[in-house]
Amino acid sequence: MSQHTIVELHGDGISPELSESVHTIADALPSELTFKAIDLSQGNREARGDALYDEAVQVMTRHGVAMKYPTTTTGTSPNKILRERCQFSVIHRPVCSIPGIETNFTQPLDIDVVRVATGGTYDDAGQRLGPDTAVSIRVISRNPCRHASRFAFKLAMQRKTNVVSTSKWTIQKVTDGFFEEICGNVSEDYPGVEYRRELFDALLAGIIMNPERYGVIVCPNEYGDFLSDTACGLIGSIGLGDSSSYAFNDEGRVTLAMFDPSGGTAPDIAGRDLANPTAALLAFSNLLRHIGEEDSGEALRGALFGAIADGQKTHDIGGELGTRAFTAVVRERLSSALSAG
């Protein structure tokens, strides 16, 4: 039996319920998973300050993989702090239509948003210049862009699809132009992968009109933020999306990966058995694939989608099941799939 240690970053709101759902699924897997818990809740962050983040980063770096649950943002975002301290340079947001969920968007969508995790305008809070003007600096750095581009092309090879780089390089000629230059250079190392560039505003329209033309999309920081939430809205809910963040060494090898549901803490439903754990379980599925448990990861994804397609789903997406009941259904389907080989 294979063994793995996973750092588990607990948060706020529905975080305990999502963690319970993940553990319920983990107990049904053929591998042995050990979770090392770190309390990243607001109360503990206020009590321990930087020492808590020091501990979290140290443990995450030691074990190389983490599962994170939603945290409230009061002051500085915990996600931003972890991104900086762990030197995450790439964020991956897979988004696909899920049969059984009604949406206003009727066409199938299946894209992977690969976002440069640093830079853009997010790294500079800006400043006021007198009473009528404010400015911020836009930063594009070579290494994070190169990591994101290579991640995108490798992913496209696995998925047998294309890569589209997107930004506003005709307007932000120096910064976005530099990003596109880096993507173009990386594309030369992957001659078998179809590659093109699209302006970001045109790409948003293109996804809605012709979603089948898009596979892997790589973009600078804020564009990826906007795009991934828009795409989740098209499939029915921001709460259906999962995310993964990656740090790399100088050779381009992943040294640390963190997986999390992209939704928020949902304090209005916390503790009421109403949370939808789909995004957390999708994140866990990707974590399993990352640590080499590909069969378990695929089986979990299949169990999730199968349950939803058959109408066994939570209240927020038109079903009647609570968090625990839905998780139990997924676990039963997962166990059956793993037993069948």
* Residues above pLDDT 90, as percent of the chain: 90
> Would residue 96 count as lying in a domain?
no
Q: How confident is the model at residue 262 (pLDDT cuts 50, 70, 90)?
A: confident
pLDDT, tens digit (0-9, with 9 covering 90-100), for 150-183 = 999 999 999 999 999 999 999 999 999 999 999 9
Mean per-residue pLDDT of the chain: 95
> Would residue 282 count as lying in a domain?
yes
Domain shared by 207 and 274, yes or no: no
CA angle 296, 300, 303 (to 5 degrees): 135
Domain that holds residue 141: 103-235
CA distances from 60 to 65, 66, 84, 259, 267 (A): 6, 6, 13, 12, 27
CA–CA gap between residue 150 and residue 152 (Å, rounded): 5
**Region 51-68: what's the mean pLDDT?**
97
In the sheet with 195-199, reading across from the earlier edge strand, the strands are 32-39, 3-10, 65-68, 254-261, 242-248, 90-96, 110-116, 216-219, 163-167, 195-199
> Would residue 246 count as lying in a domain?
no
Neighbours of 168 (CB within 10 A): 15
CA–CA gap between residue 282 and residue 22 (Å, rounded): 10
The secondary structure of residue 204, as a DSSP letter, is H
Q: Which helix (H) or strand (E) holds 189?
A: none
Q: What pLDDT sits at residue 341?
A: 73
Domain shared by 107 and 223, yes or no: yes
**Region 235-252: what's the mean pLDDT?**
91
CA–CA gap between residue 165 and residue 46 (Å, rounded): 40
Domain of 116: which CATH number? 3.40.718.10
Domain shared by 272 and 178, yes or no: no
Domain shared by 197 and 117, yes or no: yes
**Region 18-38: what's the mean pLDDT?**
97
> SS3 string of 136-183?
CCCECCHHHHHHHHHHHHHHHHHHCCCEEEEECCCCCCCHHHHHHHHH
Q: Which of 75, 167, 57, 175 is nearest to 125 (CA)?
A: 75
Q: Is the pLDDT of residue 28 over 90?
A: yes
Sequence-distant (6+) residues with CB within 8 A of 80 are none
Domain shared by 113 and 229, yes or no: yes
Q: How confident is the model at residue 252 (pLDDT cuts 50, 70, 90)?
A: confident
Most confident of 49-58, 123-132, 233-242: 49-58
**Region 217-230: what's the mean pLDDT?**
95
Q: How confident is the model at residue 268 (pLDDT cuts 50, 70, 90)?
A: very high
CA angle 83, 238, 93 (to 5 degrees): 45
Of 235, 262, 293, which closes a domain? 235
DSSP reduced 3-state for 90: strand
Q: What pLDDT sits at residue 73?
A: 86
Q: What pLDDT sits at residue 340?
A: 86
Q: Which helix (H) or strand (E) holds 280?
A: helix 278-290
Number of structural domains (the chain) is 2
**Region 215-238: what's the mean pLDDT?**
94
pLDDT, tens digit (0-9, with 9 covering 90-100), for 178-217 = 999 999 999 999 999 999 999 999 999 999 999 999 999 9
CA distances from 331 to 154, 158, 264, 304 (A): 31, 27, 24, 9
DSSP reduced 3-state for 9: strand
What global pTM score does this model have? 0.94
Q: What pLDDT sits at residue 212?
A: 97
